[in-house]
Structure 1
């Protein structure tokens, strides 16, 4: 439904009213500057407290009987109150109650631009009200028809699946000014440019981006706003109208007053277009949500232990432009707070897809709970690791900008030949994150760079690793717990300083002789001699296993 607000096009001006037959014997005696004020309706003053009941745009009819002839202050106050209420004008039957308005009253009306019409005393108020109301009604009916035609035309464009760009093209024929639509959901700008246009859309989009960059909350402004922008050293009015879907702002329509004045009718057309664009936005976001759900189902089938599900996924791989015989590596992006804000995570997925397109990467991206998986496909095995690390840096840059407090970790799995091996790269990426959280402060961890930790984190070795740990380091750990000593910490410091006792004491803020004593006690408790290469290697390895198995 299209709602007509109080517009120029839905009322008549004071000048048009004074030219009507009903007021042909009347004249404007003050406030000529306001002759283009819009009359939306007519009211009669029948109560001294009339200003409690009037509304903007009214033509107020009264007689000078209510004016105290010699009370100029009261008359001036009456004019000021009428102006504050934004009345279109005042029609007064001055004669026979007064000879005329005082110069001070006329001056204040002139200053405020409030038209005062001297109404012929013999003309009944009903003879004025009826024809003016009829004229206003006819104007509103004509405007409704005009707006309805525009609305139907825009709906027709949408039903023909013309899309946002076609709606903009239709709008521009009416508004004759540049129009840009900002899609917040997909983070894009949409516009239509004719061959003979000279508008600089790049500059307009840049201006819009700066507007939102200043305050991200501007994206959620749900009311029409106007502001003045400077374009090529010229001040230009810009109107921004929200596109609202299910109570949420999905985008905005921007219009710049560059070729002609943006009329109130133009604004009604824009508001009508915003409701139609909202339907298009809803359809677009719904399609994307369905597509992502299908991708998630494909992904689950692909990594399933059920061979039938896996075969079904392999048969559909070509839908996502995946070659079953290519090389694959998986990025796992772990985000701490992602599951609390699904809309935020979906937006991340969407923007990561754009990043992959910009980097010309052949990928499939899936969001799942706190994780986002990026499956990368490669035609050749040559130099893939280096390319993965470079792309990992790009993802890291993206995440630093988009994730608060940088609460994320990125794991890169090993490269495997064949889509059916993708589950192995996923496990590698997850292990890279787990080990990275223990040993690395870096946000991006490549499984291939973990060295010996690649062996330690194999699940099938957990039992052997645990047994090795118990035989070597566990006695020292239990001694620390029981005696409240720091032998494990001392041993760690010893290996961190490459066996330099002096540097170990400095690292631990402990006396040199105390460290020597502790090293001797470590030998006695563990039965391992730190001077023996094999014992030293076993103790250092046990410390790494301890961290991996999360014993501390």
Structure 2
């Protein structure tokens, strides 16, 4: 707006209100010819009037400034003397309060002269902005074609705009930056909008979203300590830079996807025992930044509920959509685990496979530190959690510690066994160490679940059924009796029974199951049958 007042036809113009709004952008002009002008004005417009439409209703002037400002009009120029002798004080007060420039136009200058000169100036400036923006775009594209990366692009934009610039990802982590450290910190700490749809500025900061393929890849932010980041040419340059940054980020993601697949394939070979001798494996993995020459633990995370989702309904299209959704969830699970494990152990090996995520992390040596698997699972679950929509969970299995790559296949099998049996024991979201499986590990080796069901029915009889509350209650009594090694007093205390009541129940159980208080083999069978019932997946 300040530059518009500098044209020769407005040399005699006088700003009588709204001085704080001189930084407003003027992109077009309009003349007020009708009283209901509000329906015809547009944002960033300089509106000119003689007051003729309002000559019979001067009271309308009092609210005109607020109404025009609400519609994004940049300023109002009024020519007094013929239809209006003066402006209401309330109108000038509103202009000052809103920072809405209110201009008294020279009486000897025609509107056509103002329109021609200002429009010509606007068009010339827009042409210059387009030419500069195109030049910047060509320079940035040339950097990319010459093999440059994000840092080179950010350096070029900072030099062109003479401000500090930073490119950051969606979590506001800096990918590349140019400028004094205090300016970079100011940009990273600036509390701008979380999901900007377009350029956002407060005068000192200018943020432009980095978008590609309908996805939000981050932000590019410029910082000028003295302000001046509202100019359209600055916005245009930063928007072009955002396009080039999006190109570089998508390129990096494509390269990372290929590298990730190669790493996952090699880790799969290591876990299958076909990657070579220990020395070869250690040397090859060091190139990935993985350290397998130390005590290690294998963690396997699997999504819960896959079998429930695959019910065979919905037709081919439904199955295809469900498969795509599962892949996206699997990718999010892999990203969550990778982020968390890298935070605790930067030399760990992490890879996402088709149905699981595998992490090979350091195990504690004497006096050494290593990531706690419980902490990893808890943080991964927090990163993986979804604020809206369906809630997905995963179960985790943890292996014993091994000390060489040749032992990793064994550790991997232990972790797989732990996650699957753990889910059978505890349901979705289980976290189980292989050493915690105990007898469940042996029971899980039975290939036919029908055999286990038959064993439970034959051993427990009526107590195998969950339909009768009395049967469930008696089964609970039997379980506590076996856990206390037939200690009647301790069992009565745990179950809050009178001693005689418990003696009566023991008699009833023996009539149903046999003399288990005297037969050690029968007690073993009953204990195993109760363990089978706890395995929820069988």
**TM class, shorter-chain normalised?**
0.7 to 0.9
Provide the residue aligned with 1:231 in structure 2: none
> Aligned pair in 2 of structure 1 residues 296, 126: CA closer, same or farther (>3 Å)?
same
> Aligned pair in 2 of structure 1 residues 82, 494: CA closer, same or farther (>3 Å)?
closer
Provide the residue aligned with 1:102 in structure 2: 85
Taking the aligned partners of 1:413 and 1:140, their CA distance within structure 2 comes to: 65
- After TM superposition, the score normalised by the length of structure 1 is 0.73
Deviation at 1:494, TM superposition (A): 0.4
Where does 1:55-66 land on structure 2 (aligned, <5 Å)? 55-63=42-50, 66=53
1:224 to 187, 199, 222: 199
Deviation at 1:198, TM superposition (A): 5.0
Contact 1:523-1:529 within 8 A present in 2 as well:
yes
1:269 to 237, 242, 247: 237
Secondary structure at 1:258 match in 2 = coil
Deviation at 1:478, TM superposition (A): 1.9
Taking the aligned partners of 1:292 and 1:544, their CA distance within structure 2 comes to: 41
Q: Please tell me whether residue 447 in structure 1 is matched to residue 414 in structure 2.
A: no
Taking the aligned partners of 1:406 and 1:40, their CA distance within structure 2 comes to: 50
Where does 1:61-460 land on structure 2 (aligned, <5 Å)? 61-63=48-50, 66=53, 68=55, 72-73=58-59, 85=71, 86-92=73-79, 94=80, 97=82, 101-105=84-88, 108-109=91-92, 112=95, 113-120=101-108, 125-184=111-170, 188-193=173-178, 197-199=180-182, 201=184, 205=188, 207=189, 219-226=194-201, 237-264=204-231, 265-298=233-266, 310=274, 320-321=285-286, 329-336=297-304, 340=325, 342-343=327-328, 345-360=330-345, 362-368=347-353, 371-376=356-361, 383=365, 390-404=371-385, 407-414=393-400, 422-437=408-423, 444-459=431-446
- After TM superposition, the score normalised by the length of structure 2 is 0.75
Secondary structure at 1:192 match in 2 = strand
Deviation at 1:477, TM superposition (A): 2.0
- Greater mean alpha carbon deviation, residues 170-179 or residues 475-484: 475-484
Taking the aligned partners of 2:46 and 2:38, their CA distance within structure 1 comes to: 12
Contact 1:465-1:545 within 8 A present in 2 as well:
no
> Aligned pair in 2 of structure 1 residues 159, 539: CA closer, same or farther (>3 Å)?
same
Provide the residue aligned with 1:491 in structure 2: 478
Contact 2:187-2:221 within 8 A present in 1 as well:
no
Q: Please tell me whether residue 478 in structure 1 is matched to residue 487 in structure 2.
A: no
Over the aligned positions, Cα root-mean-square deviation in angstroms equals: 4.5
Provide the residue aligned with 1:230 in structure 2: none
> Aligned pair in 2 of structure 1 residues 323, 458: CA closer, same or farther (>3 Å)?
farther
> Whose radius of gyration is greater, 1 or 2?
1
Taking the aligned partners of 1:191 and 1:439, their CA distance within structure 2 comes to: 48
> Aligned pair in 2 of structure 1 residues 342, 241: CA closer, same or farther (>3 Å)?
farther
Taking the aligned partners of 1:465 and 1:411, their CA distance within structure 2 comes to: 25
Contact 1:27-1:119 within 8 A present in 2 as well:
no
Contact 2:164-2:222 within 8 A present in 1 as well:
yes
Deviation at 1:117, TM superposition (A): 0.1
Can you list the C-alpha shifts for 1:359-408, whole angstroms capped at 9, x where unaligned? Answer: 44643322245531113588xxx959x977x5413312423432448943
Contact 1:497-1:504 within 8 A present in 2 as well:
yes
Secondary structure at 1:115 match in 2 = strand
> Aligned pair in 2 of structure 1 residues 255, 311: CA closer, same or farther (>3 Å)?
closer
2:504 to 517, 530, 538: 517
> Aligned pair in 2 of structure 1 residues 203, 465: CA closer, same or farther (>3 Å)?
farther
Secondary structure at 1:118 match in 2 = coil
Contact 2:77-2:105 within 8 A present in 1 as well:
yes
Provide the residue aligned with 1:4 in structure 2: none
Secondary structure at 1:262 match in 2 = coil
Deviation at 1:38, TM superposition (A): 4.7
- Aligned positions, number: 499
Taking the aligned partners of 2:27 and 2:449, their CA distance within structure 1 comes to: 86
Deviation at 1:317, TM superposition (A): 8.6
Can you list the C-alpha shifts for 1:423-463, whole angstroms capped at 9, x where unaligned? Answer: 44333212212343455699542213434444443347x79
Provide the residue aligned with 1:503 in structure 2: 490
> Aligned pair in 2 of structure 1 residues 115, 543: CA closer, same or farther (>3 Å)?
same
Deviation at 1:137, TM superposition (A): 1.5
> Aligned pair in 2 of structure 1 residues 160, 289: CA closer, same or farther (>3 Å)?
same
Contact 1:334-1:410 within 8 A present in 2 as well:
yes
> Aligned pair in 2 of structure 1 residues 72, 377: CA closer, same or farther (>3 Å)?
closer
Contact 1:35-1:115 within 8 A present in 2 as well:
no
- Greater mean alpha carbon deviation, residues 323-332 or residues 42-51: 323-332
> Aligned pair in 2 of structure 1 residues 355, 266: CA closer, same or farther (>3 Å)?
same
Contact 2:154-2:178 within 8 A present in 1 as well:
no
Contact 1:41-1:59 within 8 A present in 2 as well:
yes
